Amino acid sequence: MSKNKSLLAEIWDFLKVRKKWWLLPIIIILLLVGTLIILGQSSAVSPFIYVLF
């Protein structure tokens, strides 16, 4: 493996080689929740995010 691979490339290679496709939805949900937390902290989008919950 190359030393200069990004984190996403490393995760994608892990999923392909190990056949751990069930991890993909978990990773996507974690990324979405992380994005909601970052956007909800202090932005103009936060009132709309709070309506979702």
Q: For residue 29, what pLDDT band results from cuts at 50, 70 and 90?
A: very high
Asked if the structure places residue 39 within a domain, the reply is: yes
pTM, entire model: 0.59
Q: Using CA atoms, how far apart are residues 18 and 45, in angstroms rounded to an integer?
A: 38
Terminal Cα-to-Cα distance of the chain (whole angstroms): 42
Q: For residue 35, what pLDDT band results from cuts at 50, 70 and 90?
A: confident
Q: What is the mean pLDDT of the chain?
A: 82
Asked if the structure places residue 1 within a domain, the reply is: no
If one counts the domains in the chain, the total is 1
The domain of 42 spans 23-53
